[in-house]
């Protein structure tokens, strides 16, 4: 089945990583991969633009079906391969509700991380405003404390929506790892830290770990003092 799948992806992109984790969890290894370089603008080639007019990654094809929103791809794969590999939505009403809630909340976490990382990427040094940056760091600290609080209410060793790994973890883990890559220290968030260390070892995460993270040091550590912002 995976032979009729093609994934265009970029290393280190949390949206691409989500899709790759689901492909691993659903035992859909063997799909065709096109790893493209953002630095060289390979995500804007006519081949990609034809599939995704926004020129963004991931872009995914399954036969003649094209999907280029990471949440859409993940939900499609879970529905199409429901009984294969890991079931990513729990049966119980409570855990299912929590899974939906947390997986979409990750978009808020992503927004708060991006507000800082993209600020450094896009705004030239002489145009940066310290107070805006400090405000964004405080907002990220508040957001991380919220996630820390979610784990405090769960039994030790839980995933974000309960005992098992779910679609909410598929969304959360890459975002957390991305923040760590850009300097976030989890020392002030012990539950998140424990979760990060444990889930990092999961086979689907290891198999899809961004290859260039193993090869190159991070280009910046802009999130290093977020925990001190309160």
* Nearest distance, CB of residue 38 and ligand GSH, angstroms: 6
Nearest to ligand GSH of 60, 151 (CB atom): 60
Nearest to ligand GSH of 58, 90 (CB atom): 58
Torsion sign (Cα): 114, 202, 38, 215: positive
Establish if 141 lies at the interface with ligand GSH (CB under 6 A): no
Establish if 69 lies at the interface with ligand GSH (CB under 6 A): yes
* Nearest distance, CB of residue 98 and ligand GSH, angstroms: 21
Establish if 57 lies at the interface with ligand GSH (CB under 6 A): yes
Q: Which tokens sit at 71?
A: 């949440």
C-beta separation of 68 from 17 below 8 A: no
| Cα distances (angstroms) measured from residue 95 to each of 92, 208, 228 | 5, 26, 33
Cα distance between residue 182 and residue 133, in whole Å: 15
Q: Which of 58, 90, 162, 174 binds ligand GSH (CB under 6 A)?
A: 58
Nearest to ligand GSH of 4, 45 (CB atom): 45
Query: Nearest-CA neighbor of 154 among 140, 143, 169?
Result: 169
Establish if 90 lies at the interface with ligand GSH (CB under 6 A): no
Q: Which tokens sit at 168?
A: 């909410």
Residue in this structure with the two tokens 């957001």, named with its chain if needed: 143
Establish if 56 lies at the interface with ligand GSH (CB under 6 A): yes
* Nearest distance, CB of residue 35 and ligand GSH, angstroms: 13
Establish if 43 lies at the interface with ligand GSH (CB under 6 A): yes
Query: In which order are the strands placed within the sheet that holds 65-67?
Result: 32-35, 5-9, 59-62, 65-67
Number of residues that bind ligand GSH (CB under 6 A): 10
Establish if 174 lies at the interface with ligand GSH (CB under 6 A): no
Q: Which tokens sit at 212?
A: 């260039």
Residues in the chain, overall count = 230
Nearest to ligand GSH of 57, 98 (CB atom): 57
What residues line the site for ligand GSH (CB under 6 A)?
10, 13, 15, 43, 55-58, 69-70
């Amino acid at each position: 089945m995976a032979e009729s799948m093609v994934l265009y992806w970029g290393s280190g992109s949390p949206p691409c990583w989500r899709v790759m984790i689901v492909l691993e969890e659903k035992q859909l290894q063997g799909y065709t991969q096109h790893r493209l370089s953002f630095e060289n603008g390979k995500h804007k080639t006519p081949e990609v633009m034809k599939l995704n007019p926004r020129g963004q990654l991931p872009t995914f094809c399954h036969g003649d079906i094209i999907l280029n929103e990471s949440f859409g791809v993940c939900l499609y794969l879970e529905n199409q391969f429901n009984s294969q590999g890991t079931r990513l939505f729990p049966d119980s009403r409570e855990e299912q509700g929590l899974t939906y809630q947390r997986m979409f909340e990750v978009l808020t976490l992503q927004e708060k991380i991006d507000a800082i990382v993209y600020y450094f990427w896009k705004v030239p040094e002489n145009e940066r405003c310290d107070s805006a940056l400090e405000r964004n760091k405080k907002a990220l600290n508040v957001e991380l404390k919220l996630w820390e609080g979610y784990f405090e209410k769960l039994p030790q060793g839980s995933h974000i929506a309960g005992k098992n790994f779910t679609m909410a973890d598929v969304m959360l883990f890459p975002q957390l790892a991305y923040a760590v890559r850009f300097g976030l220290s989890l020392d002030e968030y012990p539950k998140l830290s424990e979760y990060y260390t444990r889930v990092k070892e999961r086979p689907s995460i290891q198999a899809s770990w961004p290859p260039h993270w193993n090869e190159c040091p991070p280009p910046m550590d802009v999130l290093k003092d977020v925990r001190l912002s309160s």
